Structures are given as structure tokens and as C-alpha cells.
Amino acid sequence: MSSPLLDVWDAASASPYNPSVGKGVQFTLGFALLFTSLVLSTIFGLNRSFVTLSVLGIPASLAFGFGAVYMICAVGVYV
Amino acid sequence: MRSVSFVSSCLAALSSFAAAELNLSQPLLSRQVLPSTFKPPQVFKNANLVRTTNLDKAYARETINVIIENIDSKPQAEYYLPFDASLISKVGGFEVKDKKVPEKGNFKVEIVEYDTESSTEFYLIHLPTPLAPKEQQTLSITYSILTSLFPVPASIGQSDKQYVQYTFSAYTPSAYNTEKQKTKIKFPNSDIPDYTSIPADLNADNKADPQKQGSTFTYGPYNDIPAGAEQSVSVRFEFTKPLTHASLLERDLEVSHWGGNLASEERYWLANKGASLKNHFSRVEWQKTSYLSPPTSALKALNLPLHPGALNPYFTDDIGNVSTSRFRPGKKEALLELKPRYPIFGGWKYSFRVGWDANLSTYLRKLQGDSYILKVPFLEGPRIAEGIEYARVNLRVILPEGATNVKYSTSVPIIASTTTLHKTFMDTVGRTTLSLSAINVVDDLRDRQLIVTYDYPWTAGFRKPIVITLGVFAVFAVVYVVGSLDTSIGKKKTA
């Protein structure tokens, strides 16, 4: 039995969805990003100024944001 | 039944607020209520009708092949099939096809009922093309009747054989005159100690019914049976297998674009509707016979054939992890073998949850733009020879946060659908969730698919990391501001 959506599914057979980061590297990437964030935060903690807030704080927050998402996926809570 | 229609109409009204999406498969929400004077117009006759009742499984499966003929002067497209009100609430998987061209798909069907205390309700079958006068068409009507087998005797010993009773009408209930009909009943074995006999003068061939051939009984043929005629008949046969009944199955499918994962979880509330134990459960007797594995009315194990590529299965119940399970990943299927904590005898219950992961690439495809299409099984669940029936299935498809324009299509008859938000880890607004409900589902519908399409802009995907990023950056800013405050007491020292 065919339905309109089934035809759409069959037509899209050439484009299965693959995430940009596969399951195998989620932990490595998440750990690396979180570690980078930790290092940058530590340096910022030692030398707090308006310049270090933007130079270290922004990359540290970005690394923590993406690192947290990959790490929670790596431990099995797929968000 | 009326309260069901009331609840479903409330759900429909609510869902129009939650989501005004177009849904391609039409749920059986609409229920026509007819005036008390209603009788199906006598525009058809059944030229020949053969009903086959299959009692192999824990529920009865009926197939009615009927040649219908239009005896009216105008083309007709509405064929009614009557059921008793107590029976129609147990009918599931009702499907009608043209026997000669089954590839054309199922006909549209709906439930109609009287506006009185009448005990008769109807399934209304819409023929896709009206049948011209004096024309004939062959319909193939299939459905299952849940909780239709009752254990007689109602309690037995632990190792005894179980016998069940099935009651039905020897004349197939019909809203039209039936010229010729017969009913075949297929039993799982030939141990049939009791059955109702019908005198030979009612039979068209003057044979006493039923006519027996091994494990098959035939009632009929009967000629010229008027509309609405019934002849109650009971059969009692051996069925030393569990009558597995799930009062509720909740099934969640969670799509994760970040993790590339489809997480499935199923929560079961099972009961064995078989004969209860006459005495106390004897562990010694159970253990003595378990190595011979004789047929038993208890449910010992459940095998869940998962799709190949299933990962990280778990099996827990109210107490915690159940260690008596095995997982056998394979190329054709990944078999999850579950053993409940105790054998489930008649009248006993067991509720548990199972879950597993799978790679999303098998189930999700990208369409043009920001649209995606998801194809998942509507029902997975155990595959056991004696079958399993579900009184209600609640399926939730949890899409990523920010998915919009959800459409779906499935061939399983569903009674309600809503689109809501579901909040869980790392969510700010909540994930778009498509909830579907179906009642009276049997395991024959295992292979049915559910197809969902949705739009998911790439900007919505960055919501999670950006929210965390902003939160952490706010902490940095607070640390900087607080750290640069001068909280010392006394005069400021100059250099």
C-alpha cells in the first residue's frame, strides 16, 4: 500500500541523516572541549581583567557549551 | 462507548489549539451518531459469505470474505456491518479490502452508533467507487476480537492443561440478507471436548453441524438467512498457553540530532487472562518440570526481535534492573530475550520497561531545505507464537527542540493525536512531541510503519549549546565584576 509520505521517504533514500560528529568521537570531542574550557577558565581566574574576559571568557564559554552537549550525548543521554 | 467519543472529541478540540497541522492519516475520531429509528437501508444482499475464525492465538482473528450485490436501483457506496455494543469495544485492526484487487489498499471505515440504548452498533464501510445496480463486489473484511477467549474451568492446577471457551454466532451477523454462508473455525489442535451442535434441518446440505475435519470445524452452509439473525454457538478447546494481555503499552521514540540517535523505550502493563491457579504456586513443582519445558498456561519468557543495529538495551521493573535477560545482536535482527522475575500465571500481572538505542541514519532522512522525514515501526514488542494483545497503545515521538510543521501517516487505526511539548534534559522551551493513541491493537500489526515529517531549522539546533554558553559567560562576567569591586575597609592607600 502506498501513501504520499511513503513516496517521499523512498525518494529521499539518497540522503540519510548523519550527524556532523559521529557517536564514536562524541566522548573525545566533549572531553577535549570541556578540558579546554577548564584550562581557559583557570587562566582567566589567575588574571581577571576586561581583556581576558573577552579573550578567554568567550572561547571558554563556547567550549563549555558545545563540550557539555557532546559529553551528555557520550554518556548516553541523547539530547 | 459514548464517554469514549466524548473524550476523543475533547481531545480533538484541544489538539486544534496545540497544533493546527495537517495530518495525513485520518484518525477514527469521527463517530456518526444515528437516530434511534435508523436501520441500514436494504440496498445490498450478501450473495455468498465465508467467515474464517482463527483461534491459533490468544485472541480470535476473523476474516469475512463476502460477495455483495447491489439490489437497489441506484449506485450504492455505504455497507454496514453490525456488532453488539459489548463486542465492538473489543474489535481491533478492522480492515476492509477488495478481495480481487488487494493492492488498491484499505477502504475507509468508521464506527456509527444509535442515539439510544440500542445494543447494536455498526462499522460503516465506504466503498471507494459506488457499486452500480445488480453489480457484485467481493469484500475481504478482517478484524481481531480481543479478550474473546475465557478459561473454562476458571482455575486449574499448576501443571494442568488449560481449556478456553469462545462464543460466537453461527450465522455471521449482517445488516443484509445473506443467500449462502458458512463459518470455518480453525483451532490450534484437535482437543475440542465441548461444542454446540446445530440440528441438520437448518443446514443447507442437511448435515449436522459442526462438520469436523481435524482441527477445523465448519458451521453451514446456511441458505437465506435474514438480516440480523443470530445463532449463538460456543466451542471449548485446549489452549495451554498464556493469554497475554497488555492493558497499556507506552512507547516513546526520542530523536536526537546532536547524538545521531533514536532512543526507544517501551513500558508494559501485562496480565495473563488465563485460568488462575487452584492451589498455591509450588516452586518445587515448577522447577521439577522446567527442564522438560512442557506446555504451560504461564508466561515464562518474552522475545523482542529488534531491528538490526539496536544498542544498549535495558530491562527494568519497579524493583530495578532485571538480570534475567539476554541480548543477541545479529545482522537480520537483534533479539532481546526477556525473562520476567516470576512465571506469570493466570490472573497474575507484571509491569516492566525495556529500552534501547539505534543509529538515527537508518530511520531519518533529510528532505529539501530544513525538512526531515522519519520512518519508525508503530509497534515493536514481543513476538510470541500465541500472540499478545494491547488494549491501548500510547505512542510518543519526541522530536528535537524547535521542530515545527509535524505531519504523520500510518496505516494503524488511531483514535487520538496531539502535538505537545515535552521538557527534559538541557531543554529551554521543550521538545515537540507527537502523541498518538490506538486501542485494541494486536501483535499482527508489528510491521506497520509510522512516517513523520517535520521542519527543523539549523538555528534551532544551536539553541542548547548557545544557552549553556550564555550561562557560563554570565558566570565569567559576574566573577569579573565581583572580583573588581573594592571591599576593603578604611582609607584607600595610595601606592
Q: Residue B494 has what pLDDT?
A: 63
Question: A-chain residues within 8 Å CB-CB of B312?
Answer: 76
Q: What is the pLDDT of residues B424-443, one digit of tens each?
A: 999 999 999 999 999 999 99
| Shortest distance, CA A23 to any CA of chain B (angstroms) | 7
Is there a domain that residue A26 lies in?
A: yes
Q: Which is more confidently placed, B22 or B242?
A: B242
Is there a domain that residue A7 lies in?
A: no
Across A50-54, B36-40, B229-233, B339-343, least confident range? B36-40
φ/ψ (deg, to 5) at B403: -75, 140
Q: Any residues with CB less than 8 A from the CB of B112 and at least 6 apart, and which?
A: B31, B32, B33, B34, B80, B121, B122, B123, B124
Question: A-chain residues within 8 Å CB-CB of B259?
Answer: 19, 23, 26, 73, 78-79
- Concatenated DSSP letters for B463-480? HHHHHHHHHHHHHHHHHH
What is the mean pLDDT of the segment spanning B180-195? 94
Contact B473 A12 (CB under 8 A): no
Q: Any residues with CB less than 8 A from the CB of B256 and at least 6 apart, and which?
A: A73, A78, A79, B262, B263, B360, B400
B54's grid cell: 482463527
Contact A76 B472 (CB under 8 A): no
CB atoms within 10 A of CB B68: 24
For chain A positions 27-66, those within 8 Å of chain B (CB to CB) are: 37, 41, 44-45, 48-50, 53, 57-58, 60-62, 64-66
Contact A48 B480 (CB under 8 A): yes
CB atoms within 10 A of CB B25: 18
What is the mean pLDDT of the segment spanning B92-117? 84
Q: What is the pLDDT of residues B343-358, one digit of tens each?
A: 999 999 999 999 999 9
Is there a domain that residue A67 lies in?
A: yes
Is there a domain that residue A37 lies in?
A: yes
Is there a domain that residue A11 lies in?
A: no
Is there a domain that residue A40 lies in?
A: yes
Across A25-34, B38-47, B333-342, B463-472, least confident range? B38-47
φ/ψ (deg, to 5) at B372: -130, 155
**d(Cα B285, Cα B120) in Å, to the nearest integer?**
48
| Shortest distance, CA A66 to any CA of chain B (angstroms) | 5
Please report, for residues B48, B142, B204, B225, the alpha-carbon distance to residue B179 in angstroms, rounded to integers and kept in the order given.
6, 21, 11, 6
**Inter-chain contacts counted by CB atoms under 8 A, chains A and B:** 139
Is there a domain that residue A3 lies in?
A: no
Between helix A58-74 and helix B463-483 the angle, nearest 10°, is 140
CB atoms within 10 A of CB B167: 13
B118 has a pLDDT exceeding 80:
no
Q: What is the pLDDT of residues B393-433, one digit of tens each?
A: 999 999 999 999 999 999 898 999 999 999 999 999 999 99
Contact A19 B468 (CB under 8 A): no
B225's grid cell: 438467512
Q: Which of A2, A18, A79 has its CB closest to that of B256?
A: A79
| Shortest distance, CA A69 to any CA of chain B (angstroms) | 6
What is the mean pLDDT of the segment spanning B304-315? 93
Average pLDDT, chain B: 89
Q: Does A73 reach chain B within 8 Å, measured CB to CB?
A: yes
Q: Which domains does chain B have, with CATH numbers?
A: 31-238 (2.60.40.1730), 244-273+301-339+347-463 (2.60.40.1730)
**d(Cα B118, Cα B69) in Å, to the nearest integer?**
28
Residues of chain B above pLDDT 90, percent? 73
**d(Cα B249, Cα B390) in Å, to the nearest integer?**
7
| Shortest distance, CA B483 to any CA of chain A (angstroms) | 8
Q: What is the pLDDT of residues B136-145, one digit of tens each?
A: 999 999 999 9
**d(Cα B382, Cα B389) in Å, to the nearest integer?**
10
The range of the structural domain enclosing residue A37 comes to 22-79
Q: Which of A9, A45, A69 has its CB closest to that of B373?
A: A9
Is there a domain that residue A16 lies in?
A: no
**d(Cα B55, Cα B237) in Å, to the nearest integer?**
9
**d(Cα B230, Cα B222) in Å, to the nearest integer?**
12
| Shortest distance, CA B407 to any CA of chain A (angstroms) | 9
Q: Which of B365, B424, B466 has its CB closest to that of A12?
A: B365
Contact A17 B361 (CB under 8 A): yes
Q: 3-class DSSP state for residue A1?
A: coil
Number of domains observed in the structure of chain A? 1
Interface with B, mutate which of A6, A9, A41, A70 (most B CBs under 10 A)? A9
Q: What is the ipTM of this complex?
A: 0.94
**d(Cα A18, Cα B364) in Å, to the nearest integer?**
9
Q: Which of A15, A23, A61 has its CB closest to that of B472?
A: A61
> Contact at 8 Å (CB) between B56 and B135?
no
Asked if residue B221 has a cis previous peptide bond (ω within 30° of 0), the answer is: yes
Strand order in the sheet with B449-455: B364-366, B371-377, B449-455, B404-410
Interface with A, mutate which of B22, B258, B372, B434 (most A CBs under 10 A)? B258
Interface with A, mutate which of B103, B366, B469, B479 (most A CBs under 10 A)? B469
**d(Cα B451, Cα B22) in Å, to the nearest integer?**
14
Question: Measuring CA to CA, which residue among B309, B388, B322, B397 is closest to residue B354?
Answer: B322
